Each structure stands twice: as C-alpha cells, then as structure tokens.
Structure 1
Amino acid sequence: MATETATTDVVSTESGNWKAGVAGGLAGSAVFGLLMTYMIRAPLLEVVIPSMYGLAPPAAPFTGWVIHMAHGAVLGVGFAALVGLAPSLGGSVGRSVGAGAVYGIAVWVALAVIVMPIWLSAVGSPANPPLPNVSAMSAVGHLAYGAVLGGAYAGLSG
C-alpha cells in the first residue's frame, strides 16, 4: 500500500509588479505635470507633447495631460520590469526611490534629450526643440518623476 502526497508549486512568470509600476508612473507623471504647469512655463503639455502625435497646434492642454500620463504609466511598467530583473533595486523604500531617480534621469537623457527632438522634427512640429534638448528644469522634472515612481512602487508592490 503506497501513500501519495500531492504538492503544488506556484511559479510566477511575472517580472516585477506591473500594477505598482503603472500606479507609480501615474503618480510620478502627475507630480512632473504639475512642475511643468507651474514652474517650467513653456507650453509643453499644451503644445509640445500633443504635437508629437499631430494633435497640436492649436494648444490642447487636456490632450497633453492625457498623453503625458499615459507615457508615465508605460514608463512605470518599464521600471517594474527592471526591478523584476534586479530585485535588489526595490529592496527597500530608499533603494526604490534611488533607483527611480536614476531611472528618471535615464529616461530624460534617452527620451527628452535625444528622442523627442528627433520625433518632433520628423512630424514637422512647430515646437521642435534643438538636438540635444538639454534643459535643467526638464532634468529636475524627470528626476522628480522617477523618485515619486520609485517611492510609490515600493509602497504598492510590498
């Protein structure tokens, strides 16, 4: 007479917590959007961001906010994937905030400094910045985005 014991192993194929990445990305984008609205003073949300998709001019602030928030959510999923590949990045709130800040600066360099001017030129936007598009305020905004993303991710993924 044999006795069998059934066991169940749960194996996750997910890399990082994408829901926490989306929520963190939205939180970071909201903070960055407020910085753009009240501190940068250039028509970024109203003209620059919508014109990436041919939706401005004329100024379209609501459309700019929607696109900006969507970008932030997608980039938040990218952050979650990176933390999933290197879990030590999200090991504590401090590490997650630091990793998010570094991620925000990396996003700034890759997307705002290099990709955005090329993209806006390709679509014929009247709001086309120079290449490279180096702006201290943009760097600060992206840094804030990343730090808030990292903090929110740590709080929500726990």
Structure 2
Amino acid sequence: MTTATDSVAAYGYGGRFYWLVGGAAGGLLSSALFGGLLWLVEPTIITETIPAIYGLEPGAAGWGFHLLHGLLLGIGFGLLISRPLVLGTITATVETDPLEALGPGARITMAGIVYGLAIWALLPVIAQTIWITVTGMADTTFPTIAFESLVGHLLWGLVLGAVFSLFVEVRPAARDTAGPFDEPE
C-alpha cells in the first residue's frame, strides 16, 4: 500500500494556471453563484447584513465583500490543497475500490466540499456568532446556523473544488516544476 508521503513523490501540480489562479477563480465563481442563491432566498443578507458586519450602510458593498471573501477563501483553499501533506492524502492509493477509482480531479472536488463544511463551521457558525455577541448587533438576518447556510456552503465548496480541479492539473510531471508559474519539463 502506498502512503500519503509516497504519493507526494508521484504527484504534483502542473498546468499553466496553478493553484493561485485556480483558487482565486474557483473562489470568485463559487461566491458569485452562492451570492446569487442568497439573493434569491433573502437579498437583505447581501445588501444589509454583510455591510453591517463592517459597520457600513446597506448597499452594493455587500456584494463586494461577499466576492472578496470568496476570493480570499478560494486562494486559501488552493494554498491548503497544494501542501504536500494534503496533496499526498488526496492522491494516496486507498483500498476502497470506489474511492480508488476516482481521479485527482474528483478527489479535489470532494476536498472542496469538506472545505466548504469547515468554512461554514468556522465562519458563520462560530466567528459570526462571536462577532454578533461582541459588537452587540441586534436582530441580524444572517443565518448563522440555518440549514440553508450549510447547504449553500457545501455547494460553494463543490463549485470551488470543481473549478480548482479544472484550472490545476495534478500529474506526475508537475513535481519537476520549479515555481508556481513555470511549466514542468
């Protein structure tokens, strides 16, 4: 059985966009789609609640902050997923046939879903609740522990992982790449 460490030696990142652009593009696209769903369900979350978190008046700033959050979290996903330990875990040979049959792209997409779950648990559930308590924000419409928020973040992670796996190719030759914008030999 191949360990996660052995697998890192066999795989790496290649392609001309790499993890930074892949994470940024995935973060922006997934946030735009998630924001669109929020807009359909409860537009005041975008126009009022998100600006209120930063002490701003209601308006279009909510869209800007929502997309900025997605961009930064997408880049964070790219950084995290490209670390040898995580990459080795994702690409490791496993004894479960259905999981073994999945290629690196599908595994990265699944990692995006897990990342979306972690983001939901850390930001809306924990950090947002603490922020509301500390700042004394009253009667907020932000769904901190709502089922819709969980589903939205899982979908956000799914799109993030899928877009990231389209931009970043995981292949054996990529381990010979010297830098994030160099092509493998």
Q: Secondary structure at the match of 2:119?
A: helix
Question: Which letter does structure 2 place at the counterpart of 1:23?
Answer: A
1:38 and 2:40 matched? yes
Alignment match, 1:13: none
Alignment match, 1:143: 154
Q: Secondary structure at the match of 1:70?
A: helix
Q: Which runs of 5+ in 1 are unaligned?
A: 1-15
RMSD: 2.3
For the residues of structure 2 that align with 1:54 and 1:126, how far apart are their CA atoms? 13
Deviation at 1:119, TM superposition (A): 1.5
> Aligned runs of 1:115-134 on 2, under 5 Å?
115-128=127-140, 133-134=144-145
Does the CA contact (< 8 Å) of 1:121 and 1:128 recur in 2? Answer: no
For the residues of structure 2 that align with 1:22 and 1:127, how far apart are their CA atoms? 33
Deviation at 1:129, TM superposition (A): 6.2
Alignment match, 2:164: 153
Q: Which runs of 5+ in 2 are unaligned?
A: 1-17, 92-102, 170-185
For the residues of structure 2 that align with 1:153 and 1:120, how far apart are their CA atoms? 32
| Identity among equivalent pairs (%) | 36
Deviation at 1:70, TM superposition (A): 0.3
> Aligned runs of 1:7-156 on 2, under 5 Å?
17-39=19-41, 41=42, 43-56=44-57, 59-60=58-59, 62-85=60-83, 86-88=86-88, 89=90, 92-128=104-140, 133-156=144-167
For the residues of structure 1 that align with 2:61 and 2:159, how far apart are their CA atoms? 23
Give the number of the structure whose alpha-carbon radius of gyration is greater. Answer: 1
Deviations 1:96-143 (A, max 9, x none): 11100110011001101110122233334344469x931100001101
Deviation at 1:36, TM superposition (A): 0.3
Query: How many pairs does the alignment contain?
Result: 139
